[in-house]
Chain A
Amino acid sequence: MKSPHSWFYLFAGTALISGSFSVCAEEKVMSENDAVMPERHFELFEKYCLECHDSLTEKGEINLEELSFRLIDDIETAETWNRVLNSINSGEMPPEDETPISNEEKTNFLRDLSENMVTARSILSDSGGEITLRRLNRREYANTIEDLLGVRPEVSSLPDDQASAEFDTMGASLFLSSDQLELYLETASRTLKLALSPGESEAEPVVRIEPEEIYTPLYLELAQNLLDRAQRNYAWQATGGRDENSKEFGYLDGWQAGKQLNSFHQYFPQVAKYLDAPETKDGAALMLTIKDGFTQIKLPGLKWNDGGKYTIRVRVGAYEDAPDRFQYLEFSRKIGQNTERLGYRKVKGTLRKPEVIEFEIDHPVGMSATYSVHKRTHEDRGDKNLWVVYRRENGFGTPWGLWVDWAELDRNEEQKPLSKVDEILFERKEAMTLPEYNREVIHRFAERALRGSEPDPGFLEKLYVRFDAGREQGMAPREALIQPLSIILSSPSFLYLVESTEGEGDSLSGQELASRLSYFLWSSPPDSELLALAKAGELSNSGVLKDQVDRLLADPRSENFVQAFVYQWLDMHRLGMFAFSGLQFPDFDNAVRDSARDEVFETVSHAIRDGASLQTLLKSNSVVINDVLADYYGIDGVEGHEFRAVQVPEGSPRGGLLGTVAVAAMGSDGIRSSPVERGAWVLRHLLNNPPPPAPPNVPQLSRLEGEVFSARELQKAHQEQAQCAQCHQKIDPIGYGLENFDASGRWREIELVTSGKRGNVVTEFPVEPAGKLVDGASFDSYYDLRDIVAERTDAFAMGLTEALISYGMGRPFGFSDAQLAHEIVSEASKADYQISAFIHALVQSTPFQSR
């Protein structure tokens, strides 16, 4: 071994572990022997490689004759093997003029090598259980500042920490740069200004909008405009319709005259229909117009000093013939150029009997935004494209769906002040002099910001000096506080979860444990109850600790954990990676996509809350959905926007992650389903048997260009090449088993593939889901496949455990964690794999409570 990296020390530990592990032969445990290429593969080197890459020739400085077959000998060895893997994968080795490796030899060699590389990487990246000093990531930073100041900071300019590691809680990968440090100072000072002087809202208590006052004149003008265009065109045509005299009729040329007549035919029928409709005399139909987007009810803008709770109230009724999707109101807010969707409400009122719908909003301090109410939207140009299709069908355009009588924005009377200014500037006792008070303000704030640790006296002294300097420059006390307090919020004691070596042994102090726990389950600092117990030394009592974990999980802040953890654990960023065409998937709009994402979070939340077994995530006879998804899944009787558990009807494929829209859509490219992505996702996240990463630079299959294939045929073609076959044999069958879901998660028996320049050629392929896993388990349908996966809850449990260890302790799961993971799984299995049991077992473990 060349360098004493941390993984060097692991092998000592391995011997200890292997004893306790021999009892469970089925469990896949990494051991020292794992990242070793079987000696027999040297034959392949001898046969095909050594002529150029022996110790004498060393072409390209590659010497395979002396290469250690133990991949983890050192980084160089692993890298040389990686080069061997990549160059055979890409077809670069052996060179064209040399004997090619036979397919069978290649497949066997590559299978062993790629799997060993996965193990090697995991062993080499092991931190040996060491947890690196961890900086608050962007989410935690924002939550922490909000907790301290009551005002949520704007953090979009700070780096998004999710890009550089598997989880954004991993200390070693959370960096700091000088730019970032300046941004911390800036952000803190901006947010402190808002918190210390939040301003008085000047928003009207209630403002009602009568939409007909805006839209009737607007559409009247549009109608007249269109009519005028048409009349001029007809007059021009009556004179012979020649290019030269088109100017007399107000056109640039004949082409423009024609275009304007065309726009009359396109848009006039809808506008006329609108103006004729009696209900638009005292309200507005949510009509979609191709030029101006959609008819939306814009509420008065709220400014930086208007922070607080508001209710949007809308009196609204649905048209009788409106399809499901058109019966919803969508609520959004616009901040600068960006639109953010806030939620959806299904309308049960009708045109004759409208109802009043209420929608609560929290307007943050410091934000300027305009809130709007409109119909459900698609991304990109989906709505406009669909309008054209509808017009072709019904002569006017997209169905209006809803009619709005009025909408109002109501600033709720009982406003709790958001800013914590009163806590920061606590009431001064008479015995305290003013200078003493000012120092105490800084001191107490520092203590809170440092999560209960005592700030360094020298540091405090300098902070007081900064305050005094501000005062000397003539600043008011509140103004002079901003600098010292923003320095506290940019200091290492605040930005990092400092775990001191000063205590005894490796154990965390009570406060340190409290912080680790609350950032794990809340992504926020510990509250006063947790800190009080920590200071009293109570957290070392395992019963107290267990109660606290239960309390933290029951608190709404645990949503931070569920969302951040599940999003990263299940790779859910893929859900937003591709745009879905509105034309191809008219029902898969923003509401469905947003709800699909929330369905996964809510399913996990419900499982934690109800003490359900982990297995219910794999297979269940209920789903956790809202009304939007109930419509999409075709499940009746779900009213209201809250997510709740609903019995799955007979014959529905839903229930368990595999049947969710989210998982189907993540395994697609926005057009077609991708059996490879889906298969790899199942192996990675459900079966805990991750395939090697897709090799870079594999040659494209040019043979297939210009032909139309089913997804299955495409995959078969991939398997023709030996370098592909070795992994895809394992991945693809699972993906085929899920082929009954199209890219948007809809059930199908037939795959439709569109091709041709305009996408107007449609070929049909019947879905053939039957297949076999590499271990021999075979299935005939999606349902069988789901059963097979659900039987393997042990593997799923191990995957969850590894992810929890990484996320919760802030370091990559490594080789040396095998025993810990095993203990957690066996603890949880005693509690029927309740999700909270995994969390309890991790928190109770010695590693979680140690540095």
Chain B
Amino acid sequence: MKNHFNRRAFLRSSSATIALPFLESFGFRKYVKAAEITTPPKRMIWMGMGFGVTADKWFPRQEEAGTAYEFPDILKPLERHRGDLTFIQNLMHRHSQDGHSGSTFWLTGANRYAIPGQSFHNTISVDQLAAETLGKDTRFTSIQLCAKGNSNSGGDGHGPGLSLAWNRSGKPVSGLETPVAAYHRLFSDENTPLEERQARLLEQRSVLDTVMSDARSVKRKLSKTDNEKIEEYFQSVREIEVRLSKEEQWLGVEKKHPQNPVNEPGESLLGYDELFVMADLMVAAMQVDASRVFTYRMPVDTLISSLGATMSAHTMSHFSEGERRDVSEMRDLHIAKFVASFIDKLKASKEQDGSSLYDNLSMTLGTNLFSVHTLRNCPTLVTGGGAGFSHGRNLVMSDPKTPLCNLWLSQLQGSGIKEDSFGDSTGVIDELFLG
């Protein structure tokens, strides 16, 4: 009798019997809808390299603009995709002045000194803008990956920020620092019962409500300027609330795994190996449509040290002849190997309509720093069929100061996002859309 009773109680509380009604109420319909989609969604990826590349070897020669260009030696592994990628030369952010910040303004184009009396200012990054449209129906509005850096030795050349992404108010968005953290965010379900998770959401709301009561009492005491400053606090609370609502929407929906699930990555994965696992995770996340917008602030210091270098990334970036230059070229070569293999995987992964992930996404590899501390001719490589670009070219913009934001705008528009301008853009890059 006792045994029998226990078993029934167990069944009643197990998700098998109660899940369905809850799924209905918490976005299950969305989940069903997602499964029915036949036209594959557009997706976007940006990968930032931090410190710049080996100056005279990374880009194809400018005189060889067009399709008949000699592929750069140090990027050879990418040559097998040459018909599916485009180098774009002469792009830059006119406001960028900071020679150690390859990522801070890369996706924003902001002017650090735009606000008098304030020594740092930033604006929304292109990925976050894209995510506002592309991320509406996915569990994760966007995914930020961000290799653990080494802040002691001059860093990775990424500059201030927590990832490549900056939110609507120009504040840094944090990233997932390790493959294992990304894996759990994307694919691990919590074991805690649904009711408990609901209760926790409720509790988180009460916490916010409590800090807000203090925030309001502080606000009453402040001057006008200080009130503008405390607005950041209010804004942060509002953002957390939005995040909680989204979490609530997806509360009853289990996280999906792709047909060939990714294994849980090791805790200590760093450097070169990390790149490949992060790519696998992005591919898997796209296969189950967990998110459509990804940024990856790539490792530099741990990357070169995993390749056997014994100097810091900053030391490498000042490549003088000899060992420093060798390390810089080796870094470029291995990043090329990684990107080539990433493109292979994107091409191999098929959508329901027979097209591939590659056909529907727009991916950029680059950084705001060209080399050493130079900020013009930002290294830029675009690939993917999602934005409607025609590839296979060494595109050399005639204006050596063409806004990098023109590329971001082209990608946004090409991916179906209705924006007329972005940052300091002056228009789209027409050449990208011409066959």
Contacts and interface: CB of A to CB of B under 8 A. Distances in A.
* B is a partner of A: yes
Which of B232, B239, B400 has the largest count of A CB atoms less than 10 A from its CB? B232
Interface in A649-695: 669-671, 693-694
Interface string B279-313: 00000000000000000000000000000001110
Interface string B215-240: 10110011101100110110111011
B159 A163 contact: yes
B147 to A, nearest CB: 14
Contact of B99 (A337, A380, A696): A696
Contacts of B226: 132-133, 499
A493 B315 contact: no
Across the A-B interface, give the 9 residue pairs with the lowest CB-CB distance, nearest first. Answer: A127-B117, A456-B217, A178-B239, A177-B171, A164-B120, A133-B226, A179-B174, A500-B221, A577-B154
Interface in A108-152: 121, 124-128, 130, 132-133
Contact of B160 (A83, A164, A578): A164
A495 B167 CA distance: 21
Interface string A165-200: 110001111011111111101000000000000000
A632 to B, nearest CB: 21
Contacts of B154: 576-578
A169 B417 CA distance: 40
Contacts of A179: 162, 172-174
Given A177-B236, A179-B174, A501 B229 contact: no
A757 B322 contact: yes
Interface stretch (B74-82, B204-212, B356-364, B390-398): B204-212
Interface in B81-135: 94, 96-97, 99, 113-120
Interface string B260-288: 00000000100000000000000000000
Contacts of B114: 75
Given A176-B236, A178-B243, A337-B268, A463 B222 contact: no
Interface of B: 55, 94, 96-97, 99, 113-120, 151-154, 159-160, 162, 167, 171-174, 203, 206-207, 209-211, 213-215, 217-218, 221-223, 225-226, 229-230, 232-233, 235-237, 239-240, 243, 268, 310-312, 314-315, 318, 320-323, 373-376, 400
A474 interface: no
B213 A133 contact: no
A783 B97 CA distance: 37
Given A159-B162, A462-B209, A697-B375, A6 B222 contact: no
B362 to A, nearest CB: 26
A165 B120 contact: yes
Given A179-B173, A577-B154, 4 more contacts: A164-B120, A177-B174, A177-B236, A576-B154
A469 interface: yes
A811 interface: yes
A492 B120 contact: no
B223 A579 contact: no
B116 A6 contact: yes
Contacts of B311: 380, 579, 670
7 contacts: A130-B117, A133-B222, A159-B172, A501-B222, A670-B311, A697-B375, A700-B55
A173 B314 contact: no
B159 A6 contact: no
B210 A487 contact: yes
A127 B116 contact: yes
A493 B206 contact: no
Contact of A173 (B120, B206, B207, B215): B120
A320 interface: no
Given A456-B213, A496-B230, A697-B374, A669 B173 contact: no
Nearest to B202: A469
A458 B217 contact: yes
Interface string A262-281: 00000000000000000000
Given A501-B222, A501-B223, A463 B210 contact: yes
Contacts of A466: 206-207, 210
B217 A181 contact: no
B52 to A, nearest CB: 12
A185 B310 contact: no
Given A126-B117, A170-B119, A492 B213 contact: no
A92 interface: yes
Interface string A785-799: 000000000000000
A136 to B, nearest CB: 13
B353 to A, nearest CB: 37
A491 interface: yes
A696 B374 contact: yes
Given A133-B226, A171-B229, A669-B318, A492 B151 contact: no
Contacts of A465: 206
A456 B116 contact: no
A125 B120 CA distance: 11
Contacts of A180: 174, 236
Contacts of B215: 491-492
B233 A181 contact: yes
Nearest to A693: B97
